Amino acid sequence: MVNGSQPVVQARGIVKIFGQHRALDGVDFEVRPGEVHALLGENGAGKSTLIKILTGAYQPDGGEILLEGGPVRFSDPLDAQRHGIGTVYQEVNLLPNRSVAENLFLGHQPTRFGMVQRRVIEVKARELLATYGLEIDVKAELGSYSVAVQQIVAIARAVELSGKVLVLDEPTASLDRNEVAKMFEVVGRLKARGLGIIFITHFLDQVFEIADRVTILRNGKLIGTRTLSEVTTTDVVRMMLGKDLAFDHGGVGVAEAVQGPVRVQFKSLGRQGKVAPFTLSLHEGEVVGVAGLLGSGRTEMARLMFGVDTADGGEISVGGRVVSIRNPAQAVAAGFGFCPEDRKLDGIFGELSVRENIIIALQAKLGWFRALNRDEQDEIAGNYAEALDIRAANHDMPVKLLSGGNQQKVILARWLAIDPNFLILDEPTRGIDVGAHAEIVRTINRLREEGLALLVISSELDEVVAYSNRIVVMRDREMVAELSGADIAPSVIVAAIADNRGSQAAKMETSA
C-alpha cells in the first residue's frame, strides 16, 4: 500500500452526457502508483464510460483529468498511450495469426535501413516476457497460445507502450482458475514496479484478492471509494446495488426436492477425442449442475447433447422415446434449448432487434411457411421480456445495444418461447452484473419449480451448489462423479475436481 503518495492519474468531477442521459455525473477517481484500484458497478453504472474518458476514447463534457498533477486532454487512445495510459480489453485486440514477438513490437519494430530486424525483435520479446515470468516460443503464432498467455502478451505490449497506468477491462472473464492466478502474479509484478493499475471485473472475490482500493459507481454517480481491507463483500455489494441483495447462497438444500419422471436420458453418449461416453438422466423439475475446470469437457458434453457436435455413439431419449439429434435443428424440434457460453459468437444476432432475437428459435422450429406475424411477435417478445425483466428502451432496438446481462436474458427468453422440455445453460452468469446475475439464478429456480429439466454448467461453485439437485463433475473429458444429497457442497466438488490433480496440472502447463 502506498497511502498518501500523489495519484498518477486523477479524474475530477467528470461529466459525460449522451443525448438526455447523464452517463457520468460529477465522478472523481484516482489511481496511485503501485496500487491496484478496482472499479465496480452494475452494467450501465458508467464504468466503461469513465474508462473511455480516461483512455481518450471519449471527451468529457465537464470536469478535468490530471496526469501526475498537471491537467491533460487526450485526443484519442493513442494519445493517452503516449502519455502513459495503456489498456487491455477482455477480448485480446492483437493479431492471432502473427507471432508473439511481432505482436509485442507491432508499429514500433526495431529497424535497420528500413528493414525489420526479426532476430532483434525475438530476443527483445523473449527478454520482455521473461520479466513477466513467461517463457514461451516467441516465434509461434499468438493464436496458438491460450487466452491467458495472449492476455499477458497484451499486457506486456500495453505496459511497454505506456508505462504509468494500466487499465485491465475484465481481463479474467474468460480465464480459468489457474490462469487467473497466473494473471494475478503478473499484476503483482507490475504493481511492485510502481504502475497504477485500474482493474474492472464482475468477480468480487478477485477484487478482494488483488485490489487495494475499490471505487463504486451506480447510475453514473460516484458512490464511494474504499480501502478494501476495511470493508466486507456485503458492504461492497450493498454499495453497488443500493440495497441488501439476498443471494441465498449456501445451504439452500434443494437436493432433497421431489423429482418427477425422467424427462431426457443420454445413454453412453460420447465422441472420440471430445468426451468419453457418459450416461445421464434428467427428471422433470430437476437442475443438474455441471462442475469442472475449463477444458474438462463440460461444454463439449453440452454440445453433444444439443447436436452441435455429432456423437459417434450412444442414444438420446425424450420422455421415453428415442430421438435422433444430429444437429441443433433436430434438438430444437425435440424441445431442447441451449444458451451457449459465448453469447456474442453463438447466441446473439447483434444487428437484429430484441423482438426478433426472442422469437427466432420459435420461428425456426415452426419452419419457413408458418411465419409469426408482427402482432404475435410483439406479444411473445413482450411476455418474455416482462417475465425475465429485460430492460430495453423498446423491442425494435438492435440487441447489441443491450448490456451483457440483458442479452443473456434475451437468449433465455428465446428458449422459453419454444416451451422447452430441457434447457442447457452454459455459464449463464459469466460476465454479467450482480443484479442480472441474481435474477438469472432466481429464474433457474423458478423454471425448476415449473417442472423444467435443466443442465447448468458453471464455474462458480457457490452458485451451482445453491440451485442444483444433483451435480456431475467433469475432469479430463470424462464424467468422473455424480453428487447428490449432502455431497452437494463446494468442498466435496473441489475434492472431486482435484482428484488426480497432478496429471491435470501438468497437462495445463503443456497446453499453455
Q: Which of 83, 218, 414, 477 binds another protein (CB under 8 A)?
A: 414
- Nearer of residues 154 and 402 to another protein, judged by Cβ: 402
Give just the sign of the alpha carbon dihedral 176, 182, 183, 184. Answer: positive
- Nearer of residues 351 and 509 to another protein, judged by Cβ: 351
Q: Which of 94, 288, 304, 372 binds another protein (CB under 8 A)?
A: 372
Residue 423 binding another protein, by CB under 8 A: no
| DSSP structure class, residue 507 | H
Cα 135 to chain center, whole Å? 27
Using the contact rule CB under 8 A, the part of the chain among 47-55, 56-64, 348-356, 470-478 near another protein is 348-356
Residue 143 binding another protein, by CB under 8 A: no
From the CB of 310, what's the least distance to another protein, in Å? 13
Residue 350 binding another protein, by CB under 8 A: yes
From the CB of 350, what's the least distance to another protein, in Å? 6
From the CB of 347, what's the least distance to another protein, in Å? 6
DSSP H or E run through 263? strand 262-271
DSSP secondary structure string, 406-473? HHHHHHHHHHHTT--SEEEEESTTTT--HHHHHHHHHHHHHHHHTT-EEEEE-S-HHHHHHH-SEEEE
- Nearer of residues 324 and 503 to another protein, judged by Cβ: 324
Residue 346 binding another protein, by CB under 8 A: yes
From the CB of 340, what's the least distance to another protein, in Å? 6
232, three cell numbers: 466486507
Residue 361 binding another protein, by CB under 8 A: yes
Residue 509 binding another protein, by CB under 8 A: no
Question: How many of the chain's residues bind another protein (CB under 8 A)?
Answer: 33
392, three cell numbers: 430495453
Residue 338 binding another protein, by CB under 8 A: yes
- Residue window 3-42: x/- pattern of binding to another protein, with contact defined by CB under 8 A: ----------------x-----------------------
Q: Which of 112, 367, 375, 394 binds another protein (CB under 8 A)?
A: 367
- Nearer of residues 31 and 332 to another protein, judged by Cβ: 332
Residue 348 binding another protein, by CB under 8 A: yes
CA separation for the pair 376, 370 (Å, rounded):
12
- Residue window 280-309: x/- pattern of binding to another protein, with contact defined by CB under 8 A: --------------------------x-x-
- Nearer of residues 163 and 328 to another protein, judged by Cβ: 328
- Please give the residues from 185 up to 214 whose contact with another protein meets the rule CB under 8 A: none
Q: Residue 370 burial (CB < 10 Å; 0-12/13-18/19+)? A: exposed
From the CB of 217, what's the least distance to another protein, in Å? 26
Residue 105 binding another protein, by CB under 8 A: no
Q: Which of 356, 433, 460, 463 binds another protein (CB under 8 A)?
A: 356
Q: Which of 323, 364, 438, 489 binds another protein (CB under 8 A)?
A: 364
Q: Which of 322, 371, 397, 486 binds another protein (CB under 8 A)?
A: 371
Per-residue 3-state assignment (H helix, E strand, C coil) for 146-190: CHHHHHHHHHHHHHHHCCCEEEEECCCCCCCHHHHHHHHHHHHHH
- The candidate with the shortest Cα–Cα distance to 247, out of 32, 435, 25, is 435
CA separation for the pair 84, 82 (Å, rounded):
5
Residue 358 binding another protein, by CB under 8 A: no
The size of the chain, in residues, is 512
3-state DSSP assignment of residue 336: strand
Task: Give me the sheet containing 70-72, strands edge to edge.
Answer: 21-31, 9-18, 62-67, 70-72
70 - beta bridge partners? 67
Residue 368 binding another protein, by CB under 8 A: yes
- Please give the residues from 308 up to 327 whose contact with another protein meets the rule CB under 8 A: 308, 327
- The candidate with the shortest Cα–Cα distance to 132, out of 170, 73, 198, 183, is 183
Residue 406 binding another protein, by CB under 8 A: no
Are 343 and 408 in contact by the 8 Å Cβ rule? The answer is yes
Contacts of 401 (CB under 8 A, 6+ apart): none
- Nearer of residues 17 and 255 to another protein, judged by Cβ: 17
Residue 365 binding another protein, by CB under 8 A: yes
- The candidate with the shortest Cα–Cα distance to 42, out of 231, 228, 218, 169, is 218
For residue 107, give Cα distances in angstroms to 83, 102, 504. Answer: 17, 9, 39
Residue 366 binding another protein, by CB under 8 A: yes
From the CB of 240, what's the least distance to another protein, in Å? 31
CB < 8 Å & 24+ apart, contacts of 125-134: 125/100, 125/101, 126/101, 128/104, 128/156, 128/160, 129/100, 129/104, 129/153, 129/156, 131/189, 132/156, 132/186, 132/189, 133/185, 133/186, 133/189
Q: Which of 352, 461, 489, 508 binds another protein (CB under 8 A)?
A: 352
- Nearer of residues 66 and 308 to another protein, judged by Cβ: 308
CA separation for the pair 29, 27 (Å, rounded):
7
Residue 231 binding another protein, by CB under 8 A: no
Q: Which of 146, 174, 265, 363 binds another protein (CB under 8 A)?
A: 363
- Nearer of residues 284 and 356 to another protein, judged by Cβ: 356
CA separation for the pair 317, 310 (Å, rounded):
15
Positions in the binding site for another protein (CB under 8 A): 19, 306, 308, 327-329, 331-333, 338, 340, 345-352, 356, 360-361, 363-372, 414
